[in-house]
Structure 1
Amino acid sequence: MEIRMLKYFLTVAEEQNITQAAKKLHITQPTLSRQIRDFEESLQMTLFVRQNKKLYLTESGLFLKKRAEEILTLNEKTEQELANYQQTILNGQISIGCVEAESSHFLAEMLEEMIADHPQVTFTIFSGTSNDIIEKLDKGLLDMAVLIEPAPIEKYHKLILPEKEIWGLLVSTEHFLTHRETVSAEDVLGMPLICSSRKEVRTMFCSWGGFDEEALTIIGKYNLIFNVISLVENKVGAAIAIKGAVAERKNKIKFLPFVPEMTTNCVLVWKKEGILSATVRTFIKKIEHALKA
């Protein structure tokens, strides 16, 4: 006796009409009629009689209705208890790739909450370039990743994280622009620049400034901003970067945001075709809930 058939039976008993019951169950009327007929045949008893265009339960039907309600209540209670039990014993590891960004603070808060709720869960964070992180994500070495747009993420599920990433120019405190609070497109023309090695970022920057990349004086490229801070300090060049990647640095540098403002989203991504553990799925649901709050 299938749970599905008991649900069909109880819905017909409640609606007293096959057509209305079928609509409620989101199946066709002929399908439901056939299912009820086959159900009666398998039980070798008549469950309904038709009177005045309505279906009424027979004595056997009344008996089954009481038992069906008990069975479905027990089934629902069992499913809920199993879900609660699974919640209490979540364990395993969450592996996350993360770029240097403002949104890393949000990720840290979510991990703190996850560990508090499920003490047996552990995590591994891999820091690197977007290209390195995406490669590991594709190979299944990471469960998810925090990336900065623009990025090639069409083949992933994504959640947009709350903090916008602000782009600007990282200069030495002895740079001739250090007295300024912002930088315009005109300011960077002719200036020695150190840019991201990612083509998408350079394209976005050129679109912001309205100039061709060939018109810029790009003296070097980097994958991690940490590697070029000393070059900026020594006035070798000014680096195009996001505020979140340098906000905690105590070096002799200053971050000047671009005007007009140039911002991008930070996103949490995971493979569309990937198989996620219960622990990772729970963590993603926790983040989804936090973003909707």
Structure 2
Amino acid sequence: MELRLLRYFLTIAEEGTISQAALVLHITQPTLSRQLRLLEEELDAALFERSGNHLVLTDAGLFLQDRAREILALTDDTAHDFAQRRQELFAGKINIGCVEADNSDTLAMLLEEMIADYPAVSFEVFTGTSDIIQDRLDKGLEDLAILLEPVATEKYHTLRLPRLERWGLATAAASFLAQKTAITASDLIGIPLMMPGRASVQKLLGDWLEGDVGTLNVIGNHNLIFNALPLIENQTASALTIEGALGRYQSDAIRFIPLTPALATHCVLVWRQGRVLTPVAQELLRRFQEAFGGHASKA
């Protein structure tokens, strides 16, 4: 499968018509139609179906769209990395995945220092849950990542960050729970709850409960807390989360109440074993190691 065909396919998907895509790509419409037909024959699947005057993606097309974006992003980053090696050491780009947590401030601080020292360096920060970021790290789309424990780190070098992430309940300020200074397991019985969707986090919370999260009234899951905020404010549900994820989202309408007994986890900086880091990624890693404990470990 040629990268050129994937770029043609993504352009058609973005523009919605062969004619408009051909204009953007500076090729003739018959040529583009023929190239799309060759791609569909190669994959043995229809990628578009007609809806009025526009083309819309089929299920196979949606699947290919995600893969094509990943492939082309990885291709572009690889080409960029090789070009970077031909330039001066600190004139490149670093890709970093980071969870929503207090340790996001740690990343911001070290990036700020590095950019001040090397203005030619650029960066891209991807925010997501640990499982999504791990998938991107495995595909080579991220150089380094900050993940929230518990995570499986057998494939990675790790550096545990010292700042603890405190677990608690995000609830509406108007809720009766907002008057409490700490939340016990019994406080959660019967109230509508949202909780993180990651299985490892649900086990962590289940251990804290000394039972099973299935005993709770969980009406929904969340990954990033932002989209859960309106549901919390409207008292549809309260959400189990870390305080750092709520961060600057806290307002007069929402309160964070820590769990008791206290539950806290660490974040870890990780990077793939056996993968050669770019010079700028190595420099950022060196700064993390210098600030937080020297040498990496293997899980």
- Structure 1 gaps, min length 5: 1-85
TM alignment of 1:73-222, pairs within 5 A? 89-222=89-222
What CA distance in whole angstroms lies between the structure 2 residues aligned with 1:292 and 1:240? 30
The answer to whether the Cα contact below 8 Å between 2:155 and 2:273 also exists between their aligned partners in 1 is: yes
Match of 1:285 in 2: 286
What CA distance in whole angstroms lies between the structure 2 residues aligned with 1:255 and 1:249? 11
For residue 161 of structure 1, report the CA deviation from its aligned partner. Answer: 1.2
Match of 2:236 in 1: 236
After superposing on structure 2, the runs of 4+ consecutive aligned residues of structure 1 that deviate more than 4 Å are: none
TM-score, normalised to structure 1's length? 0.68
What CA distance in whole angstroms lies between the structure 2 residues aligned with 1:151 and 1:281? 23
For residue 214 of structure 1, report the CA deviation from its aligned partner. Answer: 2.1
Q: Give the letter aligned to residue 115 of structure 1.
A: I
Cα deviations across residues 167-207 of structure 1 (Å, max 9, x unaligned)? Answer: 00010001111111110111112221101110111110010
What CA distance in whole angstroms lies between the structure 1 residues aligned with 2:162 and 2:110? 12
Match of 1:269 in 2: 270
What CA distance in whole angstroms lies between the structure 1 residues aligned with 2:267 and 2:121? 25
Q: Give the letter aligned to residue 282 of structure 1.
A: E
Percent sequence identity over matched residues? 41
Cα deviations across residues 38-95 of structure 1 (Å, max 9, x unaligned)? Answer: xxxxxxxxxxxxxxxxxxxxxxxxxxxxxxxxxxxxxxxxxxxxxxxx9x84121110
The answer to whether the Cα contact below 8 Å between 1:99 and 1:129 also exists between their aligned partners in 2 is: yes
Please say which structure displays the higher CA radius of gyration. 1
For residue 250 of structure 1, report the CA deviation from its aligned partner. Answer: 4.1
For residue 131 of structure 1, report the CA deviation from its aligned partner. Answer: 2.0
Cα deviations across residues 260-289 of structure 1 (Å, max 9, x unaligned)? Answer: 110000111100121111211121111101
Other structure's SS at 1:163 match = coil
TM-score, normalised to structure 2's length? 0.67
For residue 223 of structure 1, report the CA deviation from its aligned partner. Answer: 1.3
Q: Give the letter aligned to residue 224 of structure 2.
A: L
Cα distance change of structure 1 residues 177 and 278 upon mapping to structure 2, 3 Å threshold: same
Match of 1:48 in 2: none
The answer to whether the Cα contact below 8 Å between 2:158 and 2:271 also exists between their aligned partners in 1 is: yes
What CA distance in whole angstroms lies between the structure 2 residues aligned with 1:215 and 1:278? 50
The answer to whether the Cα contact below 8 Å between 1:89 and 1:118 also exists between their aligned partners in 2 is: no
Q: Give the letter aligned to residue 239 of structure 2.
A: A
Other structure's SS at 1:162 match = coil
Other structure's SS at 2:169 match = strand
The answer to whether the Cα contact below 8 Å between 2:89 and 2:280 also exists between their aligned partners in 1 is: no
For residue 247 of structure 1, report the CA deviation from its aligned partner. Answer: 2.3
The answer to whether the Cα contact below 8 Å between 1:194 and 1:222 also exists between their aligned partners in 2 is: yes
Cα deviations across residues 213-254 of structure 1 (Å, max 9, x unaligned)? Answer: 221111111111111111011111110000001121144110
Cα deviations across residues 130-156 of structure 1 (Å, max 9, x unaligned)? Answer: 222111100001101111001122211
What CA distance in whole angstroms lies between the structure 2 residues aligned with 1:202 and 1:107? 26
The answer to whether the Cα contact below 8 Å between 1:98 and 1:147 also exists between their aligned partners in 2 is: yes
- Structure 2 gaps, min length 5: 1-85, 295-299
What CA distance in whole angstroms lies between the structure 2 residues aligned with 1:287 and 1:219? 39
For residue 162 of structure 1, report the CA deviation from its aligned partner. Answer: 2.1
What CA distance in whole angstroms lies between the structure 1 residues aligned with 2:228 and 2:201? 17
The answer to whether the Cα contact below 8 Å between 2:101 and 2:247 also exists between their aligned partners in 1 is: no
Q: Give the letter aligned to residue 233 of structure 1.
A: E
The answer to whether the Cα contact below 8 Å between 1:165 and 1:242 also exists between their aligned partners in 2 is: yes
Match of 1:248 in 2: 248
Question: What number of residue pairs does the alignment pair up?
Answer: 208
What CA distance in whole angstroms lies between the structure 1 residues aligned with 2:93 and 2:125? 10
